[in-house]
Amino acid sequence: MLSSYLLHLSLLSLTLPPPGFNFDSACSTTVSKLSIENVTVFATQSVPAGTNITFPDSDPSCQPAGSSQFVPEDTCRITMFVSTSNRSGIHMETWLPRAWTGRFLSTGNGGLAGCIQYADMAYGSALGFATVGANNGHNGTSGAPFLNNPDIVADFAFRSIHTNVVVGKEVTQTFFGTPHTKSYYLGCSTGGRQGLKSVQDFPEDFDGVVAGAAAADWNHLMAWSGNFFLITGPQNAPTFIPINDWIGFIHQDILNQCDTIDGVQDGIIEDPDLCNYDPSDLICGSGSNCITATQAETISEVFSPFFINGELAFPRYQPGAESITSVLLIGGSMFTFTADWFRFVVFNDPSFDVNTLNASSWALAQDLDPFNISTFKADISDFKNRNGKLITYHGQADPLIAPVNSERYYNLVSDAMQLSSSELDEFYRFFRISGMGHCAGGVGAWEIGQTLDGSADDVSSGSATLDPDRNVLMAVVRWVEEGVAPDTLLGTKFVNDAPTQGVHFSRRHCRFPLRTTFDGGDNTLPDSWSCQ
């Protein structure tokens, strides 16, 4: 169990509450002690280690009926509502562990962000963090609540995470009778964007931030995502390619051309930037396992950068991502999040026909940029000057957000702050995770401690590695608290992605701009690879 690890954790001596503190008593009495402006506390719940909790009041699109969350360690769960205006507010929770380390952690959201990430809440509290999470100002995965309510858009763009942190820190101090020692953030996708937003606009909120596959440059991302429908057309169009063809013979042809660029034939394109795929050999006109010339053009467009009115707007979809591709982007219909964003925010019209979206629509969204949701501010000097530490990562087979976008942001910061890579290394490190899909999963060594499911141990029993070389969250903790920055992240690929079945292979993922390079030997061993 994690508690056995926590007792031996050397990164920080446990910051125990004051003498006489009683965890169980605090859990039952904290409600009466809390008096925070605009905050309504609903309930506290003592959750024993090993409990599976359910969420009957959650939106079904967030927590399907019958779903539950395993809680590995003794936790006090506090639920509350925070009013952010006279027509908006956030539902948030604070999970306070019995084995508190003195650390504070905020989790993020995903997609259009109306769901508390309970797996991340359980993960953070199990690792000894006082952990908070919120619904980002609305319930469910739809963007419909944005309609005619800029305050809910503001919560989504920036306000929810910051409010969640301010309130959560006060709740933590009231509960334990002492303030936190260090503050951290962990999120991916929309959660990655939220992490960058905190770094850019609220640098005092966190000492260390882990932001994965960040949905940064949001407006262009929504346009890029929607543009795939303009490329593929509907399922009856001559330009459309069935998903089974993408994940079948097209993917195999891409591997035939690009898998061995890294020196190993293992089904992983280590650096897709080096893959310039040509689909022309698949053209046959008719028959199985072949495509038309029109479909070949579709493939080439899918793997091309996205331009709006002649200007680069978003990098290309990477070859290799099609192996775990999602019908969300190239399934023959408009991407759901793009449709909702343009209906309920950009045009503020639920009846708007998203099939008519075009370059003018994309440009309008960027011009509007409500509450600077683009989240592409390059000068993060304030965060650096507070001695903050930022780790970003991106799966190189991400089928939902082009991984080159994270490279792009890194280079943007470098240019804006006029810092070399070695100078950026002092506070900002970016890791490319080969073969990882969107935030998790994939054919690569994707388990880097980024989630409860990606914690590189038997999560069903509640155990997760605290080794900062294998756990990106603990890596940023070590960097903040000991000054030891991660040069690599050691990823693990389990057999069938099941820790109980043993390790399939491991690989050290290098910090950008270094490339993970095969040196020879057994490619399943991390020592067979180096950073060059």
Residues 423, 425: Cα–Cα separation, whole Å: 5
| Whether residue 106 lies in the annotated active site | no
Residues 359, 121: Cα–Cα separation, whole Å: 40
Strand partners, 76: 46, 96
Residues 288, 335: Cα–Cα separation, whole Å: 28
Residues 184, 32: Cα–Cα separation, whole Å: 27
10 Å Cβ neighbour count for 522? 9
Q: Active-site residue among 120, 253, 262, 398?
A: 398
Is 329 buried (19+), middle (13-18) or exposed (0-12) by CB count in 10 A?
buried
Residue type present at position 338: T
Q: Active-site residue among 58, 125, 183, 189?
A: 189
10 Å Cβ neighbour count for 519? 11
Choose among 158, 24, 161, 168: nearest CA to 93.
168
Residues 424, 516: Cα–Cα separation, whole Å: 19
Residues 265, 256: Cα–Cα separation, whole Å: 9
Longest dimension (CA), the chain: 79
Q: Active-site residue among 91, 162, 180, 438?
A: 438
Counting every residue, how long is the chain?
532
The structure tokens listed for 519 are 């040196």
C-alpha distances in angstroms, 518 versus 272, 319, 343, 442, 508?
15, 20, 47, 20, 11
Residue type present at position 130: A
The structure tokens listed for 214 are 């960040």
Reduce the DSSP state of residue 492 to 3 states and report it.
Answer: strand
Residues 373, 360: Cα–Cα separation, whole Å: 19
Residue 253 exposure: Cα atoms within 13 Å on the Cβ side: 18
CB-CB contact of 424 with 389 (8 Å): no
Residue type present at position 237: A
Helix (H) and strand (E) counts in the chain: 17, 17
> For the sheet containing 75-85, what is the strand order?
39-47, 75-85, 88-97, 129-134, 103-107, 182-188, 208-212, 389-395, 428-433
| Whether residue 522 lies in the annotated active site | no
DSSP 194: H
The structure tokens listed for 67 are 């779903």
Residue type present at position 405: N
| Whether residue 438 lies in the annotated active site | yes
CB-CB contact of 434 with 270 (8 Å): yes
Positions marked active-site: 189, 398, 438
